[in-house]
Amino acid sequence: MSDWESNEDTWDGAAEGAGQGASVLHEVPEPVTDGEGRDFIRAIVEDDLRTGKNGGRVATRFPPEPNGYLHIGHAKAICIDFGVASQYGGTCNLRYDDTNPVVEDVEFVDAIEQDIRWLGFQWDAKYYASDYFEQIYAFAEHLIQKGLAYVDSLSEAEIREYRGNFYKKGVESPYRDRTVAENLDLFRRMRAGEFPDGAHVLRAKIDLNSQNMNLRDPVLYRIKHAHHHRTGDAWCIYPMYDFAHPLSDAIERITYSLCTLEFEAHRPVYDWFIRECDAFPSRQIEFARLNITYTVLSKRRLLRLVNEGHVKGWDDPRMPTLAGMRRRGYSPASIRNFVERVGIAKNDSLVDVALLEHAVREDLNASSPRVMGVLKPLKLVIDNYPEGQVEWLDAPYHPEDPAAGSRKVPFSKVLYVEQDDFREDPPKKWFRLAPGREVRLRYACLFKCTDVIKDAGGQVVELHGVWDPESRGGTSPDGRKVPGTLHWVSADQAVNAEVRLYDRLFAKENPNDVEPGKDFLAYLNPDSLEALPGCKVEPAIADLPAGSRVQFERLGYFCVDPDSRPGAPVFNRTVTLKDTWAKIEAKQDVPPAPAAQAPAPQPDPSVPQAAVAIPARADLKPLAPEITIDEFAKVDLRVAIVREAGLVDGAKKLLRLAVDLGEGRLRTVFAGIRAFYPEPSVLVGRPVIVVANLKPREMKFGTSEGMVLAGGGGDAVFVATFDGPVQPGDPVT
């Protein structure tokens, strides 16, 4: 890609220098939300509506380049662009910025439209930047006639050298002072196809000494003898993105050009083109792009993953593309809810992927029918059940939604259960199958394991046991408690299925943070896909259409893959359920304290507790003066969830936190804990305690709307948090 084409990939933040995750942070001149709970974009829109700007009209646009598939980062932009327009009775156009014919394809156009509709939005009008090629060309001639554009005949490398860099001022091209007549003649001959690629470019004449590189005589047009997917061979010169984009906005009379934060440095040139071309004054407003842990969103890197075969196409369920997420089983509502929870901010941060997974679980929990499937089958034989008998049990699709209905599940002498649900030598708190242990078979009965069959290699291949005929439905008349409940399928009626277990594509939390000498591909997770053939599922789901979502009880949420065939379904794991046993086992694996460690001193039972001598800290900070309980009651302590966390440029001690107190908006809180949390992203998703009724404080870096409580001293200070489930806004007492 040419140096002057570096912006072709930046719509979604993929200009490689700006696309390295959350390492580039910006000061925030205004809080995330205003005092009325509006995000800063909606606050601007409402202020304009109040003053009658733009005649009370709201017009936005979603402007993808048709050179790739949309991803979760685009979903945030779509929700903002369409959401703002819808909320204020405005319009939102879909406009393809198709100015680079070399990388554009109709395949991407079709995929983009499918993704937008799937996400739940519909554009008011559809346009292409190529619709405006003639008008944009006329704008270019207008700049030439004003003496503000010139044809440059330097090579690409020479232009790069002449423009300088951040530390070196630019140098005028020897062609910068060509006359208006000469520039018009050359530019028209460029259009006529008289010159080969790279022979000339058209540049704006702005400011070669600007610290903003975008203002150092940016390229407006380049020669490309390439076939365009819409205009064919009618053009051999194409406008640059930075030139075509603001003018396309102006032609459509877009009132708010909403884009991600890396375009903040492009805003001066955006405004310059509009002003000098006497075009409609669209306003560019930037918001923070979406960065997610264990994920890359750079279009170039996603393209490498596809082209080099690291994934199986743009819709691979491990990809962060909307096509991949749809195939994996993510619902449109879950993605919209995730975007809403992340909020709209002005500082880049790294969002924990667990928040996305939580949003998916939350939505699928309410909407997915419950069914049973066994991924790693282990045969179970009920010795005292009649041979050849099959009972069809009624099982609800959703335990909390009777309207979801039910289905019939076959029950017989031979079943399949999960291999992982049996332990021959079970540990403590094991409530699943083991020799002599009784469990509940979901919807069916109580079963006790009496015998274990192994193969020649010592592997368990079959379990035998007995059922209690009086326990139909899973309860017994004698009221005995059986804590373990297992899922199962009947062997004779089970349908063979392939199940694909997907995990995160990258093993490193921030794969965009590439160490020297390494490639981001080095962080690929080798265990991101495990395909399990020979799984067994109940017959009710044998022929579900592709895209159907279900919950395999006790296992997770799954989606029918398009690779399914009649009688041979393929299921993709969307997201796991919370595995309580894994948590218990992890705790049991914690090594014990060293034996040589002295036991903690115990108080003498003969001495009243108050009289036990407790040494005082020599460095203890004096306690504050006493207050009454009534005074303390004025302090409103609330649970808040950290949604974003980032550094503050120019502040050595501060972190900027965006916290959710359940108010329907995010608050900005500045906390002096930077030294103790050098990687702020570890705080994202963590519940913290916030002084919620502290008067907002105007600081150099923005407005702080509360205080986060932390404790410790010296080199160890920790944010106060919780070890149990809490909700944003819960009172802390």
Nearest-angstrom CA–CA distance, 568 and 496:
6
Q: Which of 216, 222, 267, 299 is catalytic?
A: 299
Nearest-angstrom CA–CA distance, 489 and 438: 18
Q: Is the dihedral of CA 547, 549, 550, 552 positive or negative?
A: positive
- Runs of H (alpha helix) within 120-205: 133-145, 156-163, 180-192
Which of 5, 8, 61, 65 is an active site residue?
65
List the catalytic residue out of 61, 76, 283, 289: 289
For 549, the token pair is: 């979502």
Torsion, Cα of 702, 705, 709, 710 (10° steps)? -10
> At which residue do the structure tokens 């199986």 appear?
312
CB 129 within 8 A of CB 248: yes
Query: Whose structure tokens read 């405004």?
Result: 271
DSSP class per residue in 618-680: TTPPPPPPP--HHHHTT--EEEEEEEEEEE-TT-SS-EEEEEE-SSSSEEEEEES-GGG-SSG
Both tokens of 605, joined, read: 């039972």
Nearest Cα neighbor of 641 from 710, 721, 696 is: 721
Whether residue 65 lies in the annotated active site: yes
Burial 535-546, CB ≥16 within 10 A → b, else e: bbbbebbbebee
Distance separating alpha carbons of residues 493 and 409, to the nearest angstrom: 9
**DSSP characters over 488-547:** -EETTT-EEEEEEEE--SBSSS-TTSPPTT--GGGGB-TTSEEEEEEEEE-GGGTTPPTT
Assigned token pair, 426: 């079970």
- How many helices and strands (H and E) does the chain possess? 14, 34
Q: Which residue has the tokens 């550094």?
A: 647
Closest CA to 59 of 78, 45, 70: 45
* 3-class DSSP string for 72-140: HHHHHHHHHHHHHHHHCCCEEEEEECCCCCCCCCHHHHHHHHHHHHHHCCCCCEEEEHHHHHHHHHHHH
Coil, strand, or helix at residue 716?
Answer: strand
How far apart (Å, rounded) are the C-alpha atoms in residues 210 and 382?
Answer: 82
Q: Are the C-beta atoms of residues 645 and 668 closer than 8 Å to each other?
A: no
Do you know the residue count of the chain? 733
List 464's β-bridge partners, or say none: 381, 451
Catalytic residue set: 65, 289, 299
